[in-house]
Amino acid sequence: MSELVSIIVPMFNAEKYIVATIRSVQTQSYQNWELFLIDDGSDDDTCGTVQAYLETQDEGVVGRIHILHNPGKGAWSARNYGLVQAKGRYIAFLDADDVWKPEKLEHEIAFASKNKAGFVFTGYEFADENAKGLGKVVKVPHTISFKQALSNTTIFTSTVLIDLQKVDKKLCEMPNIKSEDTATWWNILRAGHMGYGLNENLVLYRRPAKSLSSNKFEAQRRIWNLYRKAAGLSVVSAAWHFVIWAFLAVYRRI
């Protein structure tokens, strides 16, 4: 019998994209899942859109999709709220505007089992606001340690799968810090777990055109703060890792 996967999706003003995201879960070849949609106080019709969509689905699907409310506390808190509700052996994170390919869970779980891994992630492809792939696929290393992850932030949230039989659930709780997902992966790796990368394009990372350049400075500020606060690096060590991170970040987008 297949093991249950608990999928956690924080939602904030995701009205335009959330149905496609839900459908990408529904069409998974691996079907033993539960889906938690945690609304963070959307002021558009995100929840209404989800409810209207669920009314068109059969009871078997509706019974596995749970809408929760955690208004105004941020994505980190929404994910933690979903984590509390989760009953699965596996935890998977998915952002409300991203899309999984149908074989994502099946291939990733098989990969985790083959490598006896507790923390796995996959390759992904940048996509436009219509979730159409742009042809730029991010490749991932077979393994990554804490030290390596400091300079290579290739672990993308919507690709991550965690086996709670191997990784303590407490390590999956996200801190109240910007780029909380990256900080969480670092915490898991620093605790002694090796990250395993399935170098297969299984996720479409939707990036609306208006966001492509506007957040570059913010991303730089976040990674610097992570080095100094989350990882506790010295100024010199943080600067060294920052240079390598910047190079790899540009390379992934070329």
Q: Tell me: the pLDDT tens digits for 22-40?
A: 999 999 999 999 999 999 9
For residue 254, is pLDDT > 50? yes
Domain that holds residue 162: 5-253
- Give percent of the chain with pLDDT exceeding 90: 78
34: domain CATH number is: 3.90.550.10
- Over residues 159-186, the mean pLDDT reads 96
For residue 250, is pLDDT > 70? no
- pLDDT tens per residue across span 41-54: 999 999 999 999 99
| Contact yes or no for 165/64 (Cβ under 8 A) | no
How many domains would you assign to the chain? 1
Q: What is the DSSP string of 45-97?
A: SHHHHHHHHHTTS-HHHHTTEEEEE-TTS-HHHHHHHHHHH--SSEEEE--TT
Listed in sequence order, the residues at least 6 apart from 193 whose beta carbon sits closer than 8 Å to its beta carbon are 118, 119, 166, 167
What confidence score (pLDDT) does residue 213 get? Answer: 41
pTM: 0.91
Question: pLDDT of 121-155, one tens digit each?
Answer: 999 999 999 999 999 999 999 999 999 999 888 99
